[in-house]
Amino acid sequence: MSEDDDNAGQEATARSIGRAAGKGLRWSLMGSAATRLGTFVMGLVLARLLTPEDFGLYAVALAAMYFVMHVNDVGIMAATVQWRGRLEEMAPTATTLALMFSALVYGLCWFAAPAFATLAGSSEAAPIVRLLTAVILIDGVTAVRAGSLLRSFQQDRIIIANLCGVVVNAAVAISLAARGAGAYSFAAGQVAGAVVIGVIVFWLAKLPTQLGFDGGVARKLMRFGLPLALGLGMEAVVFNVDYVIVGHALGATALGFYLLAFNVSSWATGVIGTAIRYVSVPSFSRLSEDEGSLSPGVQRSFTLLITSVVPIALLMAVLAPALVVFLYGDQWAPAAPVLRFLAILSVVRIVVQLVVDVLTGAGATRVAMWMNAGWVLALVPALMLGTRLDGIRGTAIAHVLVALLVALPLALMSLRRIGVQVAPIVPRLIRPLVAGVVAALVCALVADLTSTSVFLQLATAGTAGLLTYLAVVVPRQQLQTWSGRASELIAASMR
C-alpha cells in the first residue's frame, strides 16, 4: 500500500472517530452545562441555609469520596472503554471484579472514617464520610455498564441519568438543609442522586446481567486497571489533599471558604472538562490503534481546550471579589482572594486531565501513574508550607506554583514518551494566551471604573473582557466572514 493510501486511511479513520466523538461531545457539553447549572443553583440555596463550618465538614467527606471513587473499581470502567475485543467476553469478569473491589474499599472507608476525619481537623465529620462514600458501592454495580456506554459514544444516555440525579440530589439536599440537617444535607442528597443515576445507567446500558470469572481476562484487566487506579488515586490526592491540610491547620470554617472558592473556580472549566472526559478516552483509544493519527488528534484537542478555558479563568480571577459577594453575600467574601489563584489552577488541571486521558486511551497507564506521583511528591510539602505562611490564600498560591512548575512539564514529557509531538502545540497557544492577558487587562480597567456596583462591574467588565478576547483570538479573516454572514442575515430579515 502506498504512502498516499496510508494517509487517506488515517484521515478517514480520524474523520469517522471525529464524527462519533463530536456527537458525544455535543451531548456531553449540553449535559455538563445543565448539570453544573443545577449544582450551581443548589449551591446558592445551600450557602444561605448552611454555615461555612457545614461546608467545611462536607469538604472533609468530599475529599474521602473523591479519593475512593478513583480507586474503588481498580480502573474497570476505563478498561471497559479501552478493551480490544468483544465486550461480552470481558463483561462478567469485569463486573465481578468491580463489585468485589468496591465492597472491599467501602469496608476500609467505614473503619478508617474516624481517623481520616480527625486528621482533617474535624472528627465530627466521620459519620458524613461514611454516608457519602457509600456512593462507591453504586459505582461498583454500574462501572462496566457506564464504560460500555462511553465506549460506544452513547453519552446522551449517561447525560439523561446525570440530569435526573441532579434533580433528586437538589431536592433531597435542600429539603434536609431547610430542616436543619447541616452538612448531612450534602451527603444525603449526593447519595440519593447516585442511586437514581445508577438505576438509570443499569437499565439503559442493555447489557446482560451476568457474573463470572475468567483468569486470563482478569489478568488483562488488572494489567491495565491497577496502574490506572494508582495513577488516578494520586490524581485524587492532588485535587483533595488541600482539603485535609487546610482543615487540619485552620479548622472547618476556613475550609468552608476554601471549598466554596474551589467549587466556583471549577464551574465553567468543569463543564468543558467533564464533557471532554466523556469522549476523550474512547476517542484517543481509537486514534492510538491507527498509526500516525494520535499525535495530530492530541494537538488539535490541546489548541481547542486552551482557547476555550483561558478567558474563563482569567476573567474569573479578575472579577473574583465581585463574583463571590454578588452570588453568595458578604459573609463569603474571604473566599474571593483564594478564587483568584484557583481560577488559574483550573486551567492547568484540565490540561493535565486531558493528558491522563490521552495516556489512558493509548494504554500507557504506568506513564500516567508516574506523572501523578511526581505531582503529589512536590505538592504536599508545598501546600503545607503555603498554608502555614498565608492561610487559605497561601494554599491556593502553592497549588498554582506546583501545577505550573511541576505538573505541566511532567504532562508534556509524558506525551513525548508515547510518541506525541509536543512542539507543534506551542505556536498554536501563543494567540489565545496573549488574547487572555489583553482581555484580563481590559477587564481590570473597566472593573475599576465600575466598582460602585458589583452587578454593573460583573456585567460591563466581563463583557468588555470577553469581547476583547474574541477580537484578539479570532483571526481577522474569520471575523470578516462572521461579519459578512451577520450582515446577510440582518438584510434578509428586513426584507
The pLDDT tens digits for 54-97 are 888 888 888 888 777 766 666 677 677 667 767 777 788 888 88
239 pLDDT band, cuts 50/70/90, is confident
Count the neighbouring beta carbons within 10 Å of the beta carbon of residue 463. Answer: 13
1 pLDDT band, cuts 50/70/90, is very low
What mean pLDDT is predicted for residues 434-460? 92
Whether pLDDT at 446 is above 90? yes
14 pLDDT band, cuts 50/70/90, is very low
Alpha-carbon gap, residue 468 to 303, rounded angstroms: 19
315, 443 contact by CB (below 8 A) = yes
pLDDT for the residue 273: 62
For a pLDDT cut of 70, what percent of the chain falls above it?
79
DSSP of 418-464, one letter per residue? TT---TTHHHHHHHHHHHHHHHHHHHHHHHHHTTT-HHHHHHHHHHH
Q: Tell me which of 4 and 395 has the higher pLDDT.
A: 395
Whether pLDDT at 101 is above 80? yes
Residue-wise pLDDT for 356-404, tens only, equals 878 877 777 788 888 888 998 999 999 999 999 999 999 999 999 999 9
pLDDT for the residue 79: 72
pLDDT for the residue 150: 72
Residue-wise pLDDT for 413-440, tens only, equals 998 888 888 888 888 888 899 999 999 9
Taking each helix axis from N to C terminus, what angle separates 365-402 and 336-361, rounded to the nearest 10 degrees? 160
9 pLDDT band, cuts 50/70/90, is very low
Q: What is the mean pLDDT of the chain?
A: 81
Whether pLDDT at 479 is above 60? no
pLDDT for the residue 26: 58
DSSP of 96-109, one letter per residue? HHHHHHHHHHHHHH
pLDDT for the residue 423: 84
Residue-wise pLDDT for 300-311, tens only, equals 878 888 888 889
Q: Tell me which of 210 and 23 has the higher pLDDT.
A: 210
Whether pLDDT at 103 is above 60? yes
CA atoms within a 13 Å half-sphere pointing along the CA-CB vector of 433: 10
Whether pLDDT at 173 is above 90? yes
DSSP label of 474: S
What mean pLDDT is predicted for residues 194-208? 84
Whether pLDDT at 227 is above 60? yes
pLDDT for the residue 5: 47
Whether pLDDT at 6 is above 50? no
Residue-wise pLDDT for 38-50, tens only, equals 777 787 788 888 8
Alpha-carbon gap, residue 318 to 440, rounded angstroms: 7
pLDDT for the residue 3: 47
CA atoms within a 13 Å half-sphere pointing along the CA-CB vector of 173: 31
Q: Could you state, in order of their start, the residue ranges of all structural domains in the chain?
A: 16-422, 425-495
Alpha-carbon gap, residue 461 to 444, rounded angstroms: 7
pLDDT for the residue 487: 57
131, 61 contact by CB (below 8 A) = yes
Whether pLDDT at 19 is above 70? no
pTM score, two decimals?
0.72
Cell of 118: 480527625
What mean pLDDT is predicted for residues 220-242? 76
What mean pLDDT is predicted for residues 463-478? 85
Residue-wise pLDDT for 109-161, tens only, equals 899 999 999 988 888 899 999 999 998 888 888 887 877 777 766 667 777 88
What mean pLDDT is predicted for residues 319-332? 91
From residue 479, give the alpha-carbon distance in Å to each of 312, 432, 433.
21, 15, 19
Closest to 94 measured CA to CA, from 137, 151, 140, 138: 140
